[in-house]
Amino acid sequence: MRNGGRLSALGAAVAATWLAWSGTAAAQLVIEGETIADAKTFDGAKAEGRLLAYGTYPADAMKPILAAFQKDTGVTVEYVRLPSLNMYQRITSEFAAKKLEADYVDLTDLPLVGQLMERGILTVPFKTTSFDAIPAPLKNPDGRWYSLVRPVGVIAVNRSRVADADMPKSWKDLLDPKWKGVIGTPSIDAGGSVLTLYSFLREKVDPDFAKKLAALSPRIYPAVAPLSTDLARGEVAIGIGAIAEPVALQMKAGAPLRVIFPREGISSFPAAGGISSTAKHPNATALYLDWMTSRHGGNVIAKGGAYPANPGSDRPHLEGLDYPPADQVWNLGLEEWTAEREPRMKEWRETFGIK
């Protein structure tokens, strides 16, 4: 059975909630011929009716995903969004104070996800209906976390400030002195998105990319959201990072922006999370994981411009962009991530003069 043994690791309160619905009869959740969730999970989720999610994926990009989930299931999601490091600090401090209310938590920094497991926060094993289809690097072997959403690191430009003839076609084009003072980048402390991007740039573009970019005096932002806002306003001409989704939303609102996939390729990073050990709505959260890892849920995620966990889902799509197959997108391996996280973050701060 796909969820065999999952209750053994649950806290008493969570286990009691889950077991309370074990004998209730209900239909499975099936959408377009795909079984999303079994009857027990779906019935328990509908009875709970809601869940609280602490997430790192931009709130505006999550809105259509959560709206589709609610339409399909009748379960509502309250979504609290923070950059990864800030979210980690909030989760751990609330847990230590016995005040963690979140049913679902995620981070974009896999070593920190591991720390949440070690601290007893991500300890609930739940193998989703699509568990066997999810590639091993995108899940915990016991289902304690899943890489539900995988945005990409790209270039975005303000077309009112960058002429068509000057549009960068490669990452190396950004190192031209003409871009001095007009490029924006999120800080390494924004989360795994930035560490992944700069690791990709180091390994696949130029080992000294960060040093050369720092020499051009880029603006450093605490997160992607204020960077994309300034890019739309023309405060900066070029932005780099996990910026495709917020920029796409601004383009729909009329902002003169463009997303560019450089010729050297793009990097991807996970928003990885699972059911918290303090979850008061474990069935609703399990249903959320079932839906997000399903082929159907993955298609919804892909429409927003991020790679989903399910390899059977559609390729991401944003108007005018041809996303490569998932296996052609560069990812930072967990072993390298764990070994290099601290030294690379320290080096980045020193290179860009961030204390």
Domains and CATH numbers, the chain: 6-149+272-321 (3.40.190.10), 152-268+325-352 (3.40.190.10)
**302-321 b/e with 16+ CB inside 10 Å = b?**
bbbbbbbbbbebeebebeeb
In angstroms, the CA 160 to CA 26 distance is: 56
Residue 221's region, left for phi above 0, alpha for psi from -120 to 50, else beta, is: beta
Give how far the C-alpha of residue 293 lies from the chain's centroid of Cα atoms, to the nearest Å. 13
Q: Which two tokens stand for residue 334?
A: 């967990």
Contact 301, 308 (CB under 8 A): yes
DSSP 139: B
Nearest by Cα to 173 from 76, 238, 96, 105: 238
DSSP 314: P
Contact 132, 146 (CB under 8 A): no
Question: Is 0.75 topped by the overall pTM?
Answer: yes
DSSP string across 264-292: T--EE--EEEEE-TT-S-HHHHHHHHHHH
Contact 275, 285 (CB under 8 A): yes
Give pLDDT tens digits along the chain (355 positions).
344 434 333 444 444 344 334 444 459 999 999 999 999 999 999 999 999 999 999 999 999 999 999 999 999 999 999 999 999 999 999 999 999 999 999 999 999 999 999 999 999 999 999 999 999 999 999 999 999 999 999 999 999 999 999 999 999 999 999 999 999 999 999 989 999 999 999 999 999 999 999 999 999 999 999 999 999 999 999 999 999 989 988 998 999 999 999 999 999 999 999 999 999 999 999 999 999 999 999 999 999 999 999 999 999 988 778 899 998 999 998 899 999 999 999 999 999 999 8
